[in-house]
Structure 1
C-alpha cells in the first residue's frame, strides 16, 4: 500500500502477546468493586434488526445522547459507552467574531461487525485543520467498509490492520471539496478489532487506547496499547528532519514545522503520523500504524465481569487525565456509559484548571470485556432457518438443492451498527465571558502570534542557509567542470 514497516506475528487464537503490567491501586474495596455487570441479552429489537438488515448506520449526536439520558440506542450501556463534547476556543473567537468551535472528534462502535456478534470494531478519529471533522467522519465509514470486506482480517489481523490503515490514507487524500482539502487537514486514527478472546489495536497520532484489568493479586493494572506519535520521539524526529521538517519542543508539546513555499507560510503538526495531511506527508509524516495485540486469557482471572475493560479516547481526555487515573475512574463506575460521562467531566475540570480560554474536543469510548456473543450468531441462524422453513411450502423445500443455511449465511453478512459522535458547535455568549478572561485570552493570543512569527522567520533563515550550503558544492563542481573544458 505504499507503506512498510515490520509487523509482529499475530497470536494464535487464545494465545495473545503477554501484557506488561503497572500496578495502579488496590481493589480490595468490596463496596466499590463487588458485583458483576448485568448479563447482556439479545433483545427482540436486535434479533429482528439482524434478520432484516444487511447494514445499518446510526448517527448519535450529543443532543441525541442527552435526550436518551446518556444511553446509547441498541447497545447495553452497562457494557458499551460513548460520550463526546465540543471544545472551547476563546482565542479564535476574539480574533474572529463569526468563529464557532466545531467538534472535530468522531468515535464509533461497530457491533456486530461483518455480520457476526463474535467480532466488533471500535474507532476514534480526532480531526485537525480546517475541514478535519469531515476527514474524521469519512474515516468512520471508509475504515468500517475496508475491514468488513477484508477476507484476511480474521486470519491475519495485524497485517490487515496495517495495510488498511495505509489504504485509508490513500483514499482520504484522493477526496477534496470546497470546505475540506486533505492536503492541509487530517485526523488521528485508533482502531480496535475484537475477535473472540483476542484484541488487536492499530493507531496513528495521539488518540490513545488503554487496557485496564484486575490481576490475580487483586490489583488494578493499566497498560497503554498505543503510543502517542509525537514529533520529538526517537525515530520520529530523525525521519521528519531527514524529509526537511524542523522539530520544535519535546514530548507532548513537540511539533513539526515545514515551509509552504507557494503561500510563504509555515505549516505545523503536533504529531508525526496521521491520516490525510498531504502537505506534511511530503515532510516525513506517515500513515503507518503501530499494531499490538493481547488475549483476555493473559489478563482476566474470570472472577468478575467488570475486571477487564478498554478505554479509547482523544487527547482531550489524555491532556488532563493519566492512563492510571482513567482506569481508576472506570473501575469505580457502575457501567460503561456512566464511566464515559465521569471521564468526560473529569477532563473538563482538568481543562478549566489549565486554562479557562481553551478546551479541546473530548470523545471517549469504554467497553467492558468480554461483551462479544458469538453464540448469538448460531441462535439467530437457527431461528432464521426455522422461519424460512415454515414460510416455504413442503413441495418447494423438497425441490431445493442443499440446505437453506447457505442463503441465511449471506443474509447475515455485513450487519453494521455505527455510533458517530456527530459534530457539535459551541459559541460562548458575550456575557458568559468575564472581562478579565477576555483580556487574558487576548494577551495570550498575541503572545502566541508573536512566537509563531518569530519561529517562522527563524525557520526561513534556517531553510535558506541549508539551501546555500547545498548549492555551494554544486556551484564548485560546475566551475571545475567549466575550467576543465
Structure 2
C-alpha cells in the first residue's frame, strides 16, 4: 500500500531547530512521569536502536495491528498512495504511545509524508528529552536542598505538573525543525509538495496532540446514558477558518474558492492563480511559506477518563465522506478490534462511490487506538487477513518499496492501476471503479506555480 520506511532519518534525532547538532552524553538518562510509574531508559541505547529502524519492536507502519491499535491504508484513484501512518508503542518509555497520520500532496507528497513519518517522532523524542533533562536537573538541585521527605515529594509533584509544558515545547520545536529539514533537504523537492500531520502522544492518562492541515483525530466517549459519543480532538486547519484566512491575507496570500467547487477555499500566490492549496498549515509547500502557510502545530492536552474508549486518526479521505458520529459507529460495531481500521476504510470507499460517483476516491489512512490497551487474539487477527509484520513487497530500508514518480499527475489511467487493488468489501475491481471516467475531487493542489507576469486576481 505504499507504506515503507526511510532510514534517512538516522541523524535526525539530534538535529535541532537552529541547525546545531547535539551529541548525547553517554551517561544521560530520561525520566518519564506517568501516574505512579516511573521508567528510565538510557538515551544512548535508544539512539543506537534507532540506527536499525527495522528492528525496533512495537513500531508498525503498514496494515496490521499492535497490542492496543490497528492501522490500515488504501490507495485511492489519484495515483500513488500519498498517505503514511505510524503507531509506536513503548515510545521513549514503556507507558508512552505515539501515533501519527501524514497525508502528502503535490508531485512528491508521498515522499514528504514518509519522510515526516520516519523523522518527526525522533525529533519529538530528542526535544522532549532535552526539556526533561534540564527540568529534572534543576528539580534535583532544589529537592536535594530540602530537609524533609514530604518536601521532596511535593517537588516531584511539581515536576509532573510541568510535563505538559515540556510536551508543548517539544511539539512546537520538533515541527519547526522538521519543516526546516525539508526546506534544506538535498534531494527532496518540497517547493510545491508537502504533507499534513496529526500526531498524538498518550502518556498514562494524559493525551498530548499536535496537528497541521486537514487530517483529524476524534475520540469515542461514553455519555451519561452509556452511549458512545464522538469528541473531535483536533481542528481541520483549512483556509476558510477566519483566523487562518486573516493570517494568510496579512502575509499577502489570497484565499478564495474556484467556481466549480465553491465549498473548498484555497490559498493562492499574490501574483498568480496558483497553486491553490486546500489547507492553511502544512509541512513543505515552500512556495507559500512567505504568504501565510505555516507549519506551526495546533497543540492541545487532554486528561483521559474511564469514559473514553478509543481514538481514531485519519486522513481527509475518510472525513470527506464520513461524519465523526459515523466513524465512531463503524469502529464500535466492528466484529473484532483488529478489523476496525479496515472496516472504516471499506465504508469510506463505498461512500465515495455513493456520494461522488463521478469523482476519484482519495487515499485513506486510519489508526484506531483502544485506550484500555486490549486487542484481539492473534488468531482473530489472522482471520481478518492482517499481519503485524511488514507487508510483502515492502522493505523497511526503503529499497524497492515505491515506484518513482516521473510526472505530476492526480489521476491514474486504467492501465497503470496496480494489480490486485480492489475496493475492500466490494466485488467490483479497481478497473471497474476507474471506468466511471471520474475527475479528481478536491485536489490538495490545483496546479504548480507558474510565476507569470499576470496581475494578481482582485
Which interval holds the TM-score relative to the shorter structure? 0.5 to 0.7
1:105 paired residue among 69, 83, 86 = 83
Q: Would the alpha carbon gap of residues 226 and 147 (structure 1) be closer, same or farther in structure 2, given more than 3 Å must change?
A: same
The equivalent residue for 1:293 is: 301
Out of 358, 361, 383, which is 2:360 matched to? 358
Counterpart of 2:248 in structure 1 is 240
| Residues 398-452 of structure 1: CA deviation (Å, up to 9, x unaligned) | xxxxxxxxxxxxxxxxxxx9999997777634997579956x54xx58x999xx7
Specify whether residues 457 and 13 from structure 1 end up closer, same or farther in structure 2 by C-alpha distance, changes over 3 A only: closer
Is the partner of 2:291 in helix, strand or coil?
coil
Please give the secondary structure, in 2, of the residue aligned with 1:279: coil
Find the counterpart in structure 2 of residue 254 from structure 1: 265
- Give, in whole Å, the separation in 1 of the partners of 2:102 and 2:247: 24
Of residues 173, 193, 203, the one that matches 2:183 is 173
Q: Distance in 1 between matches of 2:433 and 2:366?
A: 33
How far is 1:351 from its partner? Answer: 1.3
Partner of 1:272: 280
Report Cα offsets for 1:359-378 as digits up to 9, x if no partner. Answer: 11110000100329xxxxxx
Deviation readout 1:134-153 (Å, 9 max, x if unpaired): 11111112111112222236
| Equivalent residue number for residue 203 of structure 2 | 195
Q: Distance between the aligned counterparts of 1:110 and 1:435, measured in 2?
A: 34
Aligned to 2:147: none
What is residue 30 of structure 2 aligned with on the other side?
none
- Three-state SS of the structure 2 residue aligned to 1:360 is coil
If the length of structure 1 is used for normalisation, what is the TM-score? 0.60
In 1, the alpha carbon distance for the partners of 2:171 and 2:442 equals 39
1:226-247 C-alpha deviation (Å, 9 max, x unpaired): 1111111111111112222221
Q: Alpha carbons of 1:196 and 1:254: their partners in 2 closer, same or farther (altered >3 Å)?
A: same
For the residue of structure 2 that corresponds to 1:160, the secondary structure is: helix
Alignment of 1:217-236 (within 5 A): 217-236=225-244
2:75 maps to 86
Matches within 5 A, 1:252-401: 253-258=264-269, 266-297=274-305, 300-301=306-307, 308-353=309-354, 354-371=356-373
Bigger RCO (CA 8 Å, 6+ sep) = 1
Query: What is aligned with 1:428?
Result: 414
SS of residue paired to 1:282: helix
In structure 1, what is the Cα distance between the partners aligned to 2:287 and 2:240? 19
8 Å Cα contact 1:314/1:362 also seen in 2: yes
Deviation by residue 1:310-357 (Cα, 9 ceiling, x = unmatched):
101100111111111101111112443311011000111111121344
Secondary structure of 2:98's counterpart equals strand
Of residues 114, 119, 122 in structure 2, which corresponds to 1:142?
Answer: 119
Structure number with higher helix proportion = 1
Determine the structure 1 residue equivalent to 2:53.
Answer: 57
**Partner-residue secondary structure (3-state), 1:201:** strand
Q: What's the TM-score once normalised by structure 2's chain length?
A: 0.64
**Inter-partner Cα distance in structure 2 for 1:291 and 1:155:** 11
* Cα gap change, 1:428 to 1:57, in 2 (>3 Å): farther
* Contact residue 81 and residue 367 of structure 1 kept, 8 A: yes
Determine which structure has more spread, i.e. the larger CA radius of gyration: 1
Q: What is aligned with 2:39?
A: none
Distance 2:244 2:184 in 1: 25
Cα deviation for residue 258 of structure 1 reads: 1.1
RMSD over equivalenced CA pairs, Å: 4.0
Secondary structure (helix, strand or coil) at the match of 1:278 reads coil
In structure 2, distance between residues paired with 1:290 and 1:272? 12
How many residues align structurally? Answer: 334
Residue from 192, 203, 210 that aligns with 1:184: 192
Superposition deviation, residue 266 in structure 1: 2.2
User: Mind listing any 5+ residue stretches in structure 1 that lack a counterpart?
Assistant: 3-11, 15-49, 90-100, 302-306, 373-416, 467-485
Deviation string, structure 1 residues 78-117 (Cα, Å, up to 9, x no partner): x31010111103xxxxxxxxxxx11111000111111x22
